[in-house]
Amino acid sequence: MKKLAVVALGGNALLRSDQKGTIDDQEANAYYTAERLLTLIRADYNVVVTHGNGPQVGNILLSNTAGNKLYGLPDMPLDIAVAYSQGFIGYVIEQQLRNVMKANDLDRDIISIITQVLVDKNDPAFANPTKPVGPYYTKEESERIGAETGAQFAADPRGRGFRKVVASPKPLVISNQKSIETLARAGQIVIAVGGGGIPQFYVEENKLQGIDAVIDKDLASSLLAVQIRADKLFILTDVPKVCVNYNTPQEKAIDRMTISEAKKYLDEKQFAEGSMAPKIRAAISFVEGTGKDAIITSADKLGIDNGGTRVVIV
C-alpha cells in the first residue's frame, strides 16, 4: 500500500511578498510548487494538498470594500471570502499540477474539494485576533485604515510592514474527511482545506452557519492528516529549516526536534505568532496524534533526505 502524505503549502506557493499578485504570477508559482510535489509522487506517496490564502483572501476583502464604496455592493463576510479563495486557488493549483503531470507523462485525477471546518463560536481566539490576512501596509496606512474601519493590525515579525489580523479559532471537525481519504488512497491527488477551511459553527442544533474568522491552515492540515491516518505531514514555508534565535547573531537552524523540545521553544516564545508558531503547534499535534514524523521545510527541499526540520515523538 502506498504511503499517504498531507502537504500544506505556504502562502508563497502562489503569491510572494515582492509580487503584485497577478494570475500570471500565481500560476508560475503554483507550477514551480507542483514540480516539487513530483518528488513525493515519484517516491510512491499518495498526496493530499492543502494551502494558505492569506494574501488572496485579503485582496478579496479589499475588492469587496472597493465595490461597496463605489457601487453600493453588499459587504460579504470573511467566511464567504474564504470560500471564494478556495475556489480560485484550488483551480490554479489543480491546473498547474495537471500541466506538470502531463509534462512528465503521469496521469492522475486532481480533485479540488470546497471544505468547511467546524469551530466553537466561544473560542477565546475571537477575543484576541492574531491571524494576519491581506497585504502589508506602512504603520501610517494601518493606523488610518484601523481608524476608518475598526480593523486591527499587527507588525510583521520580519519587519515587512503591518497586516490586518483576525480571529483564528481552533479547527474541530473537517467536513468530508472520509471522502478525502478514500479519493487520496485510490491514487487521486486531492486539494482540500484551502485557507484552513471555511469556518462554520452550530447556530442552533442541526443548523450550521459561517462565522467571521480565518482558521490556521497548518492546524487544519494537521487535523486532517490525523483524521485520514496520513503517514507524514509536510508543512511548507519560505525557509528551509526552523530556526531558534531567529534573525539574531545566535540564529541556529534545527535538523531534528522532539515534541518536548518544540514545546519548550514555544514556551520560550522562540517562534512568532502568525508565522512559525502555528506551524510548530501543527507539527506537534500531528506527531502526538499519529506517532509519525512531521517535516517543516521550503518547497525546494521537499522530499530531499535531511531536508527541513523533522519533528519527532522522541
* DSSP letters for 77-122: -HHHHHHHHHHHHHHHHHHHHHHHHHHTT----EEE---EEE--TT
Residue 155 reports pLDDT greater than 90: yes
Beta bridge partners of 7: 49, 234
For the domain spanning 3-118+170-312, the CATH number is 3.40.1160.10
The model carries a pTM of 0.90
Residue with cell string 482558521: 215
Residue 184 reports pLDDT greater than 80: yes
How far apart CA 97 and CA 118 sit, in angstroms, is 29
- What residue ranges do the domains of the chain occupy? 3-118+170-312
pLDDT tier for residue 291 given thresholds of 50, 70 and 90: very high
- Grouping H, G, I as helix, E, B as strand and the rest as coil, residue 224 is helix
DSSP string, 163-203: EEEE--PPP-EETTHHHHHHHHHTT-EEE-SGGG-EEEEEE
How far apart CA 98 and CA 35 sit, in angstroms, is 10
Catalytic residues: 11-12, 131, 217, 279
Q: Write the pLDDT tens digit of every residue in 38-60.
A: 999 999 999 999 999 877 887 88
pLDDT of res. 252: 97
* Residues 48 and 230: beta-carbon distance below 8 Å: yes
Residue 249 reports pLDDT greater than 90: yes
Segment 181-192 mean pLDDT: 98
Q: Residue 307 half-sphere exposure, CB side, CA atoms within 13 Å?
A: 17
Residue with cell string 517562534: 271
- Give the β-pairing of 162-166 and 152-155: antiparallel
Which of 76-80, 220-224, 226-230 shows the lowest mean pLDDT across its residues?
76-80
Q: Write the pLDDT tens digit of every residue in 56-107.
A: 887 888 888 788 778 888 878 899 999 999 999 999 999 999 999 999 999 9
pLDDT of res. 311: 98
173: cell is 471537525
How far apart CA 139 and CA 154 sit, in angstroms, is 9
Residue 16 reports pLDDT greater than 80: no
59: cell is 485582496
For the CA atoms of 84, 88, 94, 96, what is the dihedral angle to 10 degrees?
Answer: -160
Report the share of the chain in percent with pLDDT over 70.
Answer: 99
* Residues 41 and 82: beta-carbon distance below 8 Å: no
pLDDT of res. 145: 87
Q: Which amino acid is at 234?
A: F
Residue with cell string 477565546: 124
pLDDT of res. 231: 97
